[in-house]
């Protein structure tokens, strides 16, 4: 059988940089989905009637919230809205981390290694969201490379006439 030469036939076969960025974003989404599912599974393993069940109730709310709020982050209407929604996710992750640590100390769980793993994963997600907030906030401030200087005159904005076009009316002679 004759081997055909390998030639790319379309861009669909080769990922573009934008596709790679989208894939990474979805990797975070998938990671958060797995985290939330693990929280639910941990909650389901807490014995009924156990005092730790109350902690588990709070844990299941805060532990699933970041995944759900992340959809809001993706639909932010402005940079300020984006930062605010990231901060909501970050707050919920911090609450989850504390609830997991408290549960680790108080409950007799069948799989303590899972709690340790969830604490570590939550901590990593906190670091990701914290850095995302910092990066987004830095975009608000002018960078050192791009600066927009206002004129020295403090009343420069009052000089509206400098922004208006001088248009002759049809009845005025040139």
Rounded to 10 deg, the angle between the 52-74 and 112-140 helix axes is 30
pLDDT value of position 48: 81
Confidence (pTM): 0.66
> End-to-end distance of the chain based on CA atoms, in angstroms?
83
DSSP 3-state of 171: coil
| pLDDT tens-digit map of 33-47 | 999 999 999 999 988
pLDDT, mean of residues 154-166: 43
In this predicted structure, the answer to whether residue 13 has a pLDDT above a threshold of 70 is no
pLDDT value of position 97: 97
């Amino acid at each position: 059988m004759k081997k055909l030469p390998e030639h790319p036939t379309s861009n669909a076969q080769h990922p573009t940089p934008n596709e790679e960025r989208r894939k990474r974003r979805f990797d975070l989404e998938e990671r958060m989905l797995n985290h939330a599912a693990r929280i639910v599974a941990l909650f389901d393993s807490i014995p009924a009637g156990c005092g730790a069940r109350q902690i588990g109730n709070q844990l299941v709310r805060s532990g699933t919230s970041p995944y759900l709020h992340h959809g809001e982050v993706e639909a932010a209407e402005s940079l300020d809205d984006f930062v605010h929604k990231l901060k909501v996710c970050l707050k919920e992750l911090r609450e989850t981390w504390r609830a997991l640590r408290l549960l680790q100390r108080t409950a007799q769980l069948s799989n303590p290694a899972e709690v340790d793993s969830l604490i570590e994963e939550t901590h990593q997600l906190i670091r990701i969201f914290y850095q995302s907030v910092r990066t987004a906030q830095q975009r608000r401030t002018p960078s050192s490379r791009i600066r927009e200087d206002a004129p020295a005159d403090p009343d420069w904005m009052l000089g509206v006439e400098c922004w208006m076009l001088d248009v002759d009316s049809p009845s005025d002679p040139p």
